[in-house]
């Protein structure tokens, strides 16, 4: 039987009512004759709430929760032990709900599913997947429910895969099991040309190539996780992004298929915002020390640029739960001329040639209220670093003047 991997995100299992609806949807897929592996995220805001508890537990003995005094940050190993429990709750509840529907289901943690990672706690990378137990259970006719976002390192430690990492679990399992398709269900009916919650007239994108989607995900479009898209591209797994509860093929139901479609479509453009980014600058001679510190601290460096005198880079803070400590270590690492600025974010235009066409770059800069702090251009992306407060308005301006609608109109004029 063809294997289908379905992933349901936190909002899809936010409470028992929603989780039971997911159980009905899984039961329908099973009834259609497919072998089903389901990957679940933690319920609703569970991961954030657990992180909040960890920060409270980390307060010094004489501090009160209310005083909110600066505390040492919780150890990342312990955070992984804690956060991985969120997905265990939803996997077992969903399995119980499947039993209530007369279906044979079994739930597995990431380590039971054979997801082996490196040992970078909080933001681990999957090294290999050995899904033998899943294959055995599918052969017995069971539905397998897997806790997303987690694995086990070679040192047999529990790890988590970075925020939004359940998508990666789903794609990696789909590849390892040779699944026919990987369906990612969330609260949106696919990928849009901007976050539809911020830009109301964002356009639905029914088809996307891996490269464009990966670029979008890397610079902050959280609808699909960047590692998941990278894994899908490498292993040629088609991702189908849908809204939970939607029945594929029904009139009016939309989806986005991310696969190896041709990428030379000028109107396939998106505007992406990434908030909570730190921006680093230093003298160019600090490069080797900065790289060594970034490696030691597991700090990702985006768009690292080194000129004759200065170097610069940005780092997303979403997967740096110990930013306070990291910041202190960077400041103490003797990096000549180091300056660290927070309260900034990244605004990106993603699409074919957007960063190499001077007319696009000129138009993008012209519609910003103030000159950006930094500008980076790549063949598939143009990015600016801006203060957080200006990001959403700038994103709206870019989407209106340079988004897919504007690009399609421009190509009609030149045709």
Is the CB of 163 or the CB of 269 nearer to Mg ion? 163
- Can residue 195 be called a binding residue for ligand ADP (CB under 6 A)? yes
From residue 87 to residue 116, the character string flagging contacts with ligand ADP as x (rule: CB under 6 A) and all else as - is ------------------------------
Is the CB of 84 or the CB of 267 nearer to ligand ASP? 84
- Can residue 86 be called a binding residue for ligand ASP (CB under 6 A)? yes
- Can residue 9 be called a binding residue for ligand ADP (CB under 6 A)? yes
> Which of residues 175, 191, 237, 395 is near ligand ADP by CB under 6 A?
191
- Can residue 222 be called a binding residue for ligand ADP (CB under 6 A)? yes
> Which of residues 84, 117, 153, 166 is near ligand ASP by CB under 6 A?
166
Give residues with Cβ within 8 angstroms of 32, minimum separation 6.
Answer: none
> Which of residues 221, 282, 293, 397 is near ligand ADP by CB under 6 A?
221
Q: CA 238: distance to chain centroid?
A: 17
Alpha carbon distances (Å) from 15 to 12, 21, 89, 161, 164: 8, 10, 11, 23, 19
> Which of residues 148, 151, 164, 355 is near Mg ion by CB under 5 A?
164
Write out the binding residues for ligand ADP, residues 151-190 only, by CB under 6 A.
164, 186-188
Kindly state the smallest distance separating residue 86's Cβ from Mg ion, in Å. Answer: 13
Is the CB of 27 or the CB of 184 nearer to ligand ASP? 184
- Can residue 10 be called a binding residue for ligand ADP (CB under 6 A)? yes
- Can residue 11 be called a binding residue for ligand ADP (CB under 6 A)? yes
Kindly state the smallest distance separating residue 147's Cβ from ligand ASP, in Å. Answer: 10
- Can residue 185 be called a binding residue for ligand ASP (CB under 6 A)? no
Binding window for ligand ADP (CB under 6 A); candidates: 9-17, 29-37, 66-74, 127-135: 9-17
Q: Beta strands 207-209 and 256-259: pairing type?
A: parallel
> Which of residues 223, 258, 330, 352 is near ligand ADP by CB under 6 A?
223
> Which of residues 12, 47, 113, 348 is near ligand ASP by CB under 6 A?
47
Is the CB of 91 or the CB of 382 nearer to ligand ASP? 91
Tell me the torsion sign for CA atoms 69, 70, 71, 75.
positive
Helix axes 226-235, 210-218, angle to 10 degrees: 160
Is the CB of 9 or the CB of 345 nearer to Mg ion? 9
Is the CB of 146 or the CB of 280 nearer to Mg ion? 146
Is the CB of 198 or the CB of 375 nearer to ligand ADP? 198
Kindly state the smallest distance separating residue 126's Cβ from ligand ADP, in Å. Answer: 17
Kindly state the smallest distance separating residue 202's Cβ from ligand ADP, in Å. Answer: 7
Q: What is the 3-state secondary structure (H, E, C) of the chain?
A: CCEEEEEECHHHHCCHHHHHHHHHHHHHHHHCCCEEEEEECCCCCHHHHHHHHHHHHCCCCCCCCCCCCCCCCCCHHHHHHHHHHHHHHHHHHHHHHHHHCCCCEEEECCCCCCEEECCCCCECCEEEECCHHHHHHHHCCCEEEEECCEEEECCCCEEEECCCCHHHHHHHHHHHHCCCEEEEEECCCCEECCCCCCCCCCCEECEEEHHHHHHHHHCCCCCCCHHHHHHHHHHCCCEEEEECCCCCCCCCCCCEEEECCCCCCCCCCEEEEEEEEEEEEEEHHHHHHHHHHHHHCCCCCEEEEECCCEEEEEEECCCCCCHHHHHHHHHCCCCCCCEEEEEEEEEEEECCCCCCCHHHHHHHHHCCCCCCCEEEEECCEEEEEEEHHHHHHHHHHHHHHHCHHHHHHHHHHHC
The site partner of 86 among ligand ADP, Mg ion, ligand ASP, none (C-beta below 5 to 8 Å per kind) is: ligand ASP
Is the CB of 9 or the CB of 220 nearer to Mg ion? 9
Is the CB of 106 or the CB of 317 nearer to ligand ADP? 317
Write out the binding residues for ligand ASP, residues 125-154 only, by CB under 6 A.
148-149
Tokens, residue 319 = 């997967």
Check: CB of residue 258 under 8 Å from CB of residue 213. yes
Binding site for Mg ion (CB under 5 A): 9, 164
Binding site for ligand ASP (CB under 6 A): 9-10, 41-42, 47, 86, 148-149, 163-166
């Amino acid at each position: 039987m063809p294997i289908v991997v379905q992933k349901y995100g936190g909002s899809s299992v936010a409470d028992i009512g929603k989780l039971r609806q997911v159980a009905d949807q899984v039961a329908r897929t099973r009834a259609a004759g497919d072998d089903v592996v389901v990957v679940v995220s933690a319920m609703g805001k569970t991961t954030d709430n657990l992180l909040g508890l960890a920060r409270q537990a980390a307060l010094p003995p004489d501090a009160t929760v209310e005083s909110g005094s600066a505390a040492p940050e919780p150890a990342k190993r312990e955070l992984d032990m804690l956060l991985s429990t969120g997905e265990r709750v939803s996997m077992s509840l969903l399995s119980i709900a499947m039993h209530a529907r007369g279906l044979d289901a079994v739930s597995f943690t990431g380590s039971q599913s054979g997801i082996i990672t490196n040992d970078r706690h909080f933001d681990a990378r999957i090294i290999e997947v050995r899904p033998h137990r899943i294959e055995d259970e599918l052969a017995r006719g069971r539905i397998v429910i897997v806790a997303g976002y987690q694995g086990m390192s070679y040192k047999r430690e529990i790890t988590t895969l970075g925020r939004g990492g359940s998508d990666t679990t789903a794609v990696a399992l789909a590849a390892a099991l040779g699944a026919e398709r990987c369906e990612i269900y969330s609260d949106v009916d696919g990928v849009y040309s901007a976050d539809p919650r911020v830009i109301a007239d964002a356009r639905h994108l029914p088809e996307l190539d891996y490269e464009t989607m990966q670029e979008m995900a890397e610079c902050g479009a959280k609808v699909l996780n960047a590692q998941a898209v990278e894994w899908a591209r490498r292993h040629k797994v088609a991702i189908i992004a849908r809204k939970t509860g939607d029945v594929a093929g029904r009139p009016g139901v939309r989806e986005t298929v991310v696969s190896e479609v041709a990428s030379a479509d000028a109107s396939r453009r998106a505007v992406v915002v990434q908030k909570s980014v730190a921006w680093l600058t230093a003298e160019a001679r600090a490069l080797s020390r900065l790289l060594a510190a970034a490696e030691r601290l597991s700090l990702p460096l985006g768009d690292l640029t080194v000129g004759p005198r200065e170097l610069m880079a940005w780092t997303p803070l979403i997967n740096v739960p110990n930013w306070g400590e990291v910041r202190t270590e960077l400041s103490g690492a003797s990096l000549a001329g180091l300056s660290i600025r927070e309260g900034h974010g990244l605004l990106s235009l993603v699409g074919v040639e957007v960063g190499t066409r001077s007319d696009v770059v000129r138009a993008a800069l012209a519609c910003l209220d103030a000159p950006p702090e930094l500008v980076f251009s790549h063949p598939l992306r143009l990015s600016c670093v801006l203060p957080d407060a200006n990001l959403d308005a700038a994103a709206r301006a870019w989407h209106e003047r340079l988004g897919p609608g504007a690009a399609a109109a421009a190509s009609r004029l030149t045709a």
